[in-house]
Structure 1
């Protein structure tokens, strides 16, 4: 049985001297404490999909991700607790014969079957299309042959990162847990596949704004993803959000010395070690944007803490770990 989430998650006001001197208040929405096995924004995005799977009598979950995907681990854990089978299609066929990293070990320990595919094939599988590189080094096997579960009504297929219309509705509950939001409020979150930002923006009351901090190189692409998710979930667009593209640190999984130093300083000041690939980039962004005058005095920033620090940070991040654009119909 899947334990219920501890909602609403805590809202913590921080005394941050640098921001206070600028007249800006900082709060943390501690979604990292939402659930013991499906933490952070993964609970927000998975919960409505899991409810759908159970209501429809599905017997398994199929999803996609890289070697360190939090979404893959969370899906494996949730499926196990619900008594569902799970399959994770993992980008990088070279990983199949290597010792499992801590993240993949956790997914397998929860009962997930891992299928390692080439990076070229992966792109097609995410979208459910045939895929083979132009140089002919692979045969372009149809995605339905590689993942026959797509055609099996007993399986629910979840996109990379878990961002779909149901996930957007799940993330939209975050602002509803924060009383008194208004024109001086900016809710901030990291952006990888766009579902959390799309939900937060959709759930805001009039006057409040959402700021997403891109954790990968994706200017234009990420905006299109969020707009597509809004259209899929609500059939309309929202004008209360934007994405900062200046703090991805060179790409997904890239952790610069500057970011590491900032995270260490933040932990010393506030007693919280921020997760590096998403949360620390968001916190660094709001500090630097505030110093640059991006927020008027009186602004109240609320950063959504979307996840926990990795127990064993990846020393050699995958340069291809960028979400694949999903076809939306």
Structure 2
């Protein structure tokens, strides 16, 4: 995996924003989106241990039509010379022009297999998974779950928590940015926040943090089931709950993939203030949650708050579509 040259640990960038500083909260961005140009953010942390375990075998994985995980897996396959197959939710998409996200997967060499939604919901059942692997002719492939969240991924994400555990507090001594450590024994972060889709990143992040540090998960999907999922992932990976973590379910905006004008306006404003392109489906919801919680007084004055930037916006051109090269198996 070293041949992919990740940038680790990812940098920690302070944010000077009066909406936080006026309440005594110090916000920093944990720039996991800078880990790798093609496999950035939590996707690197979750994929890297699975790629090592696959030992060069073909990869089969799962996702929706705009899945960041599918794109990251396809990119990893291209860079490592490993065949990849993406099982995509929704057989009604077969034969249609590919959206830019799936087109990127195909351009990186991924073979797509579209399955009906009922079968997709049951993909984790052993007999259904075996049937899907037979369908795509990849019985010996290494299967990575939707979103990449499995035991290996959770353990891989403990490094994120460890980086935040070991980062020391800094101070801006000359106006050029914080460089000098105020006290090498004081961690730079009290609370680390991350958007949550399948739970693997938060499960590992919380386990890697140090004493006195807390992890906040901001679900981007509706349903209130993620707490149970995260507990199950930690049980499988560590034998029980690890770290001090909690969820705030108020900011999913109606469900995965849903945004609204208020969220877009918030993201646009954050981009203009800080020069950071804000990914809408995960990062924008997490940042808006942090602002809301800060305004509600959830963080005491003096709190050092880290927002994990798990990815960057995927560039799409209006009307951009690509046809062909997709396996429309059902």
With the length of structure 1 as denominator, give the TM-score of the two structures. 0.86
Partner residue in 2 for 1:176: 162
CA distance in 2, matches of 1:183, 1:11: 9
Partner residue in 2 for 1:198: 203
> How many residues in Structure 1 have an aligned counterpart in Structure 2?
299
Give the aligned CA root-mean-square deviation in angstroms.
Answer: 2.1
Residues 116 and 184 (structure 1), Cα distance of their counterparts in 2 relative to 1, 3 Å cut: closer
Partner residue in 2 for 1:98: 96
Residues 113 and 183 (structure 1), Cα distance of their counterparts in 2 relative to 1, 3 Å cut: closer
Partner residue in 2 for 1:303: 307
CA distance in 1, matches of 2:135, 2:89: 18
Structure with the larger RCO, 1 or 2 (CA within 8 Å, 6+ apart): 2
Residue 281, structure 1, aligned to residue 285, structure 2: yes
Residues 216 and 271 (structure 1), Cα distance of their counterparts in 2 relative to 1, 3 Å cut: same
TM-superposed deviation, 1:294: 0.8
Contact 1:64 1:90 in 2 (8 A): yes
Matches within 5 A, 1:247-266: 247-266=251-270
TM-superposed deviation, 1:46: 0.3
Contact 2:199 2:229 in 1 (8 A): yes
TM-superposed deviation, 1:145: 2.8
Partner residue in 2 for 1:210: 215
TM-superposed deviation, 1:125: 2.1
Contact 1:211 1:243 in 2 (8 A): yes
Residues 87 and 184 (structure 1), Cα distance of their counterparts in 2 relative to 1, 3 Å cut: closer
CA distance in 2, matches of 1:207, 1:60: 42
- 1:183-239 CA distance string (max 9 Å, x none): 9600000000001100100000011000000101031x1001110110111111125
Contact 1:88 1:113 in 2 (8 A): yes
Contact 1:42 1:71 in 2 (8 A): yes
Provide runs of 4+ in structure 1 moved above 3 Å.
Answer: 126-130, 149-154, 180-184
Residue 108, structure 1, aligned to residue 109, structure 2: no
CA distance in 1, matches of 2:51, 2:24: 42
Residues 92 and 153 (structure 1), Cα distance of their counterparts in 2 relative to 1, 3 Å cut: closer
Residue 44, structure 1, aligned to residue 45, structure 2: yes
With the length of structure 2 as denominator, give the TM-score of the two structures. 0.86
TM-superposed deviation, 1:126: 3.6
Aligned to 1:246, the other structure's residue is in SS state helix
Partner residue in 2 for 1:20: 21
CA distance in 2, matches of 1:212, 1:26: 16
- 1:98-122 CA distance string (max 9 Å, x none): 1001111111111111000111111
